[in-house]
Chains A and B, each alone.
Chain A
Amino acid sequence: MRNRLRVLRAEREWSQADLADRLGVSRQTVNAIEVGKYDPSLPLAFKLAKVFGLTIEQVFFDDDDAMKEAAE
């Protein structure tokens, strides 16, 4: 699974630590999600989307979907 966390963070000028504080998790967790080493639980994914004021689908997307979009 891939995500737009880095872009969304950059748009708001938040550091990983800022986002971690807002989510109540460690900076390492934010980094692991961001680089795709860890897929968050559903509650954390909802919380992430809520922090950015978006839906889950606007933050996370499937690898296959990303490839299809790129092909189009």
Chain B
Amino acid sequence: VSEVLEPSAAERNRRRRGWAATMMWMVVLAAPVGLTIGFVSGYLGEQADLPGPLALLRDVLQSPVFFVGLFAALMAWALAATLAYWRAIDELAREAHKRAWFWGGSLGMGAGLIALLIGSEFEPLASTTFAGASALEHMLFGGVFIYGIGLIGYLLAWAFVWWRAR
């Protein structure tokens, strides 16, 4: 029994949860940082005459290498944070995520796909909203839309599963 009763085990769990929470918050905080970078990049891009350092900053912010590098770094961080979070939570919390992805995520993405198919047949929406959009823009919208609806379904299912288990 003493092996299980070790007070340090509870303390270790608390520390692990704290570390995971910190990493997850840093991922969440990446959103306003990304918005700021996008705003600064857009603003500098519209200025005609920029002094040397600001022109350099604009060139860096708008370069594909910076864009891809930033996304790759953020994805790597998000993956590490998710791993830390997954290790920190207990089996009931993991079960809630699994059920939420299975039911909410898959049903949500299915609903998103059906909504897109219906929307593409609905004439005013199809001909005006996306008039002039390139094939790549259509594809991007479709991907983000389906994933977004899937995410909403997942969050709703997770909240329901967690509420029922409490």
Residues of A that sit less than 8 Å from B by CB = 21-26, 28-29, 31-32, 37-38, 40-41, 44, 47, 50-51, 53
Contacts and interface: CB of A to CB of B under 8 A. Distances in A.
Prevailing SS type, chain A contact patch: helix
A40 B4 contact: no
B90 A24 contact: yes
A65 B5 CA distance: 31
Prevailing SS type, chain B contact patch: helix
Contacts of B95: 38
A21 B10 contact: yes
Given A28-B165, A37-B165, A23 B92 contact: no
Contact of A38 (B10, B89, B165): B165
Contacts of A37: 164-165
A63 to B, nearest CB: 19
B91 A40 contact: yes
Contacts, number: 47
Interface in B12-34: 12-13
B74 interface: no
Contacts of A23: 4
What interface size band does chain B fall in? 10 to 19
Contacts of B93: 26, 29
Interface of B: 1, 3-5, 7, 9-10, 12-13, 89-93, 95, 164-166
B4 A29 contact: no
The 10 A-B residue pairs with the shortest CB-CB distance, nearest first, are A21-B10, A25-B90, A29-B92, A32-B165, A24-B13, A51-B4, A29-B90, A24-B9, A37-B165, A50-B4
A70 B92 CA distance: 31
